[in-house]
Amino acid sequence: MNAIAPLLSATGLFSSFVGVENTPENHQKFVGNVPLGRLTDPMDVANSALFLASDEGKFITGVNFEVDGGRGI
């Protein structure tokens, strides 16, 4: 079994997860800590799930697949 752990997305839940209003200033403060310079896009998560479900990912097991733009490094 695998898990996907995405970084925060710029959705309506931004404020709930970060604890501040989703203003351009607060958004940029958070993005400033992400080496790839952006938040997670839903397609980033979808592509990760497709990879894990594909033949290319069939030998990957027991991982927490971080989709975080390098923030966890």
Query: What pLDDT, in 10s, does the model give residues 50-68?
Result: 999 999 999 999 999 999 9
Residues 6+ apart with CB under 8 A from 7: 34, 39, 40, 66, 67, 68, 69, 71
Over residues 14-29, the mean pLDDT reads 88
Residue 15 pLDDT level (bands cut at 50, 70, 90): confident
Task: Give the global pTM.
Answer: 0.83
| Residues 35, 70 contacting (CB under 8 angstroms) | yes
Q: What is the pLDDT of residues 23-56, one digit of tens each?
A: 889 889 889 999 999 999 999 999 999 999 999 9
pLDDT at 58: 95
CA distance 39 to 53: 23
